Amino acid sequence: MRRVKGRVSQKIFEEFPVIKKRYWGRHFWARGYFCVTSGELTKEMIQEYLAHHFEKDPNDLFDIE
């Protein structure tokens, strides 16, 4: 998991230099991780859950496709 997080953060820093400036200490991820299978859930069910359980920050440019 450490390798995955390391490679992903490097790619994110390359693609989004603003984030690199914000996380100049290179501590992009938390130490832990969480993994679960979705089983019989559909993509639509997961998107509906996320839409109703998190407040979207109007200044946040992150979006779920």
Determine how many CB atoms are found less than 10 A away from the CB of residue 20: 16
State yes or no: pLDDT of 34 exceeds 70: no
State yes or no: pLDDT of 16 exceeds 80: yes
The CA distance from 65 to 58, in Å, is 17
Enter the tokens of residue 10.
């490097």
Which pTM value belongs to this model?
0.43
Mean pLDDT of 6-25: 83
Determine how many CB atoms are found less than 10 A away from the CB of residue 12: 13
Position 41, amino acid? L
**What per-residue confidence (pLDDT) applies to 44?**
85
